A and B are shown apart, each in its own frame.
Chain A
Amino acid sequence: MFIHIFRYRLLTLLRDRTLIFWTMIFPVILATLFNLTLRNIGENEKFNIIDIAIVDDAGYQENTQFQQTIKELSEGEEAMFNLILIDEDTSKDKLLTGDIAGYILVDDTMKVVINQSGINQSIIKIFLDQYSQTSSAITNIIMENPSAMSDVLSEVDSREVFSKEVSVSDAKPDSSLTYFYSLIAMACLYGSFFGLREVTDIQANLSNQGARLNMAPVHKLKSFLYRSMASLSIQFVEMLILMAYLRFGLGIDFGSKIGLVILTVFVGSIVGIAMGAFIGAIVKGNENSKVGICIGATMTGSFLAGMMVGDIKYLVDKNLPIVSLLNPVNVLSDSFYALYYYDNYDRYILNIMILIGFSVVFCFITYLILRRKKYASI
């Protein structure tokens, strides 16, 4: 009986084009649009080498100390500046054409010439200010106490930093991931359409098919379970297709814990289907209004989880943490986030426990309603 019901349920659901569109095609389209919109976010956050010019005049040639400093900052893999030595007129031309962010005149006062404000211009200015202050301080100390020269130089070489940067994982920070993770969570919760249809199709007071199925010599809850397993199979495969598209088509990074990411998607699919079944069972009204509630709940959850505006997630987390905890979309996206950014599993396990809790509550209430064997009206 299981195979009979399961097989026909797969056929029925797979041929429901509207259902397949919303649960698979729509998230893929949305992911593609996200990718087009968010592609440059990561690029903007990267540090780019700053093109600068030094006016190659007598002042520069005489200041060997500055030559050495600027040379060190313009070499190697982590170079700060892309340096060219040219005369002042050429520097002006290049500044006007935008080939360089600014140019430095090395004389007694050290001047930086820019024609617009910006991050690169600020960095050049900060560098020059710091250089001027340090070299001035060293000059003063040596003039007052020439014997301290070696101590001062060694002190400059071994600057001590009193704070330490600790990374929680090897993952590269990428703010666009918030959007994609909440999109995956939304797609999981779109599984609610499957759950809703399962309840509608098996309740005699909700559909004609339900009335007929209630007359068959098959235990209603067993039948519901078999059918829901077909729904879960389709939803899970759809989610794997979406994940594969994100990973291999759009290059979205899920970190190294792929097994747990897939487990999270599976748990998310269960939450989605259970939520749909819950809404189908508990809400009075026609199927369209229940579909509206499923979409409304999922989209509100997605908004609060940062799918439309990334900062919303942090605002809600900070100011209304209980809303974050009760929002399945947020808990799901946070699970992916925790897997990506954290090496320990505390946050991830907490999220998974919350998701399982959601599923249990949804399933239990649905069970209480479905187990009713007779209807007050049909």
Chain B
Amino acid sequence: MIVNVNNLVKRYGDLTAVDHLSLHVKEGEIFGLLGPNGSGKTTTINCILSLLKHDKGMIEIFDKKMAPDAYDIKKDIGVIMQNVAVFDELTVRENIDYFCGLYIEDKATKKKLVEEAIDFVGLKDFVKFYPKKLSGGLLRRLNIACGIAHKPKLIILDEPTVAVDPQSRNKILEGIVELNRQGATIIYTSHYMEEVEQICSRIMILDHGKIIAEGTKEELKNMISLGEKITVEAYGITDKQISEIKVIPNLHSVTYSDNNLVVKSNKGKNNLENILDYIRKNAINFGRIYSEMPTLNDVFLEITGTELRD
């Protein structure tokens, strides 16, 4: 086991930020911690890294007890924090070289690793730039390069794509998958369900410091009663027609607003044909029709009763 956390509790006064959380990350995984802002993701990470005092629980990394002075553990960890942590007075190359040099003392090895990190995040054309001259996306990439240049076995990324343009976000996500392919175990926290769904092999969903679900994305989606979701851009549907649609078998729910008819099916059931039949028979004017399978947001919604983005 790369990371083993049992029964972790962290309180700030009366607020329990992390509530009896247990977490186990296996070697080679991309483990996603998903939850809305304030759900306890960053607090959990800071406790795992021994930056924050915790009230209860046991934390092991690489099968050794984690502590602030556990330098033999720290040398194999790379951390990319939510906020960019670089020095404004150092250039891109100097920043990467500085942080890499805190882990790697051999000059030749360090030089090679720094060049690899620069290539990896695509900052070759910006090595002499100071951080203030970089765009938000490039700055995030520099932040990542500073955390991964020493080729750690475990990489922890805490919301690395906040306020990043789509191009840089894709680059970052591709990079994380590549790091995992090269052998690193990843812990990835985010409140963007699409990102977690896209790259993580196993996901833990947190809310108010508690685990509300854990598993692969397929396992999580199987936990809920919801199946296919059909959205029809339809015009002039009456309340009577809504009532008639609701009696179609295996329907979970029907809503109609802003000319969008949303029909959700029960798990494992398909209603696209039935809905299309009803629309045709009742001569309802319609535009686009699309069907989608449940998302992690649906999982979160069904378990907590609120949207993940709230």
B154 to chain A, nearest CB (A): 11
B97's closest neighbor in chain A, by CB? Answer: A8
Q: Report yes or no: A375 in contact with B74, Cβ–Cβ below 8 A.
A: no
> With an 8 A cutoff between CB atoms, is A300 at the interface?
no
Q: Which residue from A15, A212, A376 sits with its C-beta under 8 Å from B81?
A: A212
Are B51 and A204 in contact (CB-based, < 8 A)? yes
Q: Which residues of B contact A211 (CB under 8 A)?
A: 51, 81, 85
Q: Is the CB of B79 within 8 A of A215?
A: yes
B89 & A216 in contact (Cβ 8 Å cutoff): no
Complex partner residue of A377 from B12, B83, B146, CB under 8 angstroms: B12
CB pair A217–B50 under 8 Å, yes or no, is no
Residues of A near B74 (CB, < 8 A) are: 215-217
Q: Which of B52, B89, B94, B102 contacts A217 (CB 8 A)?
A: B102
Task: Closest B residue to A376 by CB, please name it.
Answer: B53
Q: How far is the CB of B37 from chain A (nearest CB, A)?
A: 16
Is B77 a contact partner of A11 (Cβ separation < 8 A)? Answer: no
Of A15, A373, A376, A377, the residue contacting B50 (CB under 8 A) is: A373
Q: What is the bound-complex CA distance between A120 and B99, given in angstroms? A: 72
Specify the chain A residue showing the minimal Cβ separation from B147. Answer: A212
Chain B residue at minimum C-beta to C-beta distance from A377 = B12
Is A8's CB under 8 angstroms from B77's CB? no
Q: Is A16 an interface residue (CB 8 A)?
A: yes
A172 in contact (CB, < 8 A): no
Query: Which one of A11, A214, A215, A219 has the highest number of Cβ atoms from chain B below 10 Å of its Cβ?
Result: A215
A297 interface residue, CB < 8 Å from B? no
Contact between B83 and A208, CB atoms less than 8 A apart: yes
A217 CA to B102 CA, complexed, in Å: 7
How many Å lie between the Cα of A15 and that of B89 in the bound state? 6
Asked if A164 CB lies within 8 Å of chain B CBs, one says: no
Q: Does B69 contact A (CB under 8 A)?
A: yes
Task: Check B79 against A212 for contact (C-beta < 8 Å).
Answer: yes
- Report whether A216 and B103 are in contact in the complex, using a CB–CB cutoff of 8 Å: yes
A327-351 toward B: CB 8 Å interface, digit per residue (1/0)? 0000000000000000000000000
> Which residues of A lie under 8 Å from residue B53 when comparing CB positions?
374-376
Residues of chain A within 8 A (CB-CB) of B81 are 208, 211-212
A212-B87 contact, Cβ under 8 Å, with A8-B94, A374-B52, A375-B52: no
Interface string of A197-212 (1 = CB under 8 A from B): 0000000100111011
Q: Are B94 and A11 in contact (CB under 8 A)?
A: yes
Roughly how many angstroms separate A211 CA and B158 CA in the complex, as a whole number? 13
Question: Are A216 and B50 in touch, CB under 8 angstroms?
Answer: no
A373 touching B68, Cβ below 8 Å: yes
> CA of A212 to CA of B102 in the docked complex: distance in angstroms?
11
Chain A, range 215-230, C-beta contacts under 8 Å to B: 215-219
**A residues in contact with B52, CB < 8 Å:** 374-378
Shortest C-beta distance, B58 to chain A (Å), equals 15
Alpha-carbon gap, A377 to B102, bound state (A): 25
A97 beta carbon closer than 8 Å to chain B: no
Classify chain B: how many residues form its interface, as a range.
20 to 34
A12 within 8 A of B: yes
In the complex, B98 has a CB within 8 A of chain A: yes
Residues of A near B85 (CB, < 8 A) are 207-209, 211-212
CA distance A212 to B98 in the complex (A): 12
Q: Which residue of A lies closest to B53 (CB)?
A: A374
Residue A213, interface by CB 8 Å: yes
The answer to whether A8 touches B98, judged by C-beta atoms less than 8 angstroms apart, is: yes
Chain B residues 40-65 with CB under 8 Å of chain A are 46, 49-53
Question: Distance in Å from the Cβ of B10 to the closest Cβ of chain A?
Answer: 10
Give the CA-CA distance A30 to B308 in the complex, in Å. 58
Which of A1, A15, A376 has the most chain B CB atoms closer than 10 A to its own CB?
A: A15
Q: Does A4 reach chain B (CB closer than 8 Å)?
A: yes
Q: Smallest Cβ distance from B127 to chain A, in angstroms?
A: 15
Q: Mark B90-111, 1 if CB is under 8 A from A, else 0.
A: 1000100011011101000000
Q: Does B272 contact A (CB under 8 A)?
A: no
Contact, CB under 8 Å: B68 / A374: yes
Please report the C-alpha to C-alpha distance between residue A5 and residue B147 in the assembled complex, in whole angstroms.
Answer: 17
Considering the chains assembled together, what is the distance between the CA atoms of A13 and B87 in angstroms? 10
A214 and B75 CA atoms in complex are apart in Å by 12
Q: Which residues of B contact A217 (CB under 8 A)?
A: 71-72, 74-75, 102-103
Residue of A nearest to B47 (CB): A374
Chain A residues within 8 Å of B50, by CB: 373-374
Contacting B at CB under 8 A, from A263-319, are none
Alpha-carbon distance between A5 and B100 when the two chains are bound, in angstroms: 11
User: Which residue of chain A has the shortest Cβ distance to B68 in the bound complex?
Assistant: A373
For A213, list chain B residues within 8 Å (CB): 102
Are A378's CB and B102's CB within 8 A? Answer: no
Q: Is the CB of A216 within 8 A of B102?
A: yes
Which residues of B sit under 8 angstroms from A15, Cβ to Cβ? 89-90
B86 close to chain A: CB less than 8 A: yes
B75 closest partner in A (C-beta): A217
Does any Cβ of A come within 8 Å of B84's Cβ?
A: yes
Contact of B49 among A4, A215, A218 (CB under 8 A): A215
Alpha-carbon separation in the docked complex, A207 to B87 (Å)? 11
Please name the residue on chain A nearest to B46 by beta carbon: A378
Residues of A within 8 A of B99 (CB): 212, 216
CA distance A211 to B50 in the complex (A): 11
Q: List 17 A-B contacts (CB under 8 A).
A: A4-B101, A8-B94, A12-B89, A12-B90, A15-B89, A204-B51, A207-B85, A208-B83, A209-B85, A209-B87, A211-B81, A212-B146, A217-B103, A218-B102, A219-B69, A373-B69, A378-B51
- Chain A residues with CB under 8 Å of chain B are 1, 4-5, 8, 11-13, 15-16, 204, 207-209, 211-219, 373-378
Other A-B pairs beyond A15-B89, A204-B51, A214-B68, 15, CB < 8 Å: A1-B102, A8-B101, A11-B94, A12-B87, A208-B84, A208-B85, A209-B85, A212-B79, A218-B102, A219-B69, A373-B50, A374-B51, A374-B68, A375-B51, A378-B52
* Smallest CB-CB A-B distances: 3 pairs: A373-B68, A208-B85, A15-B89
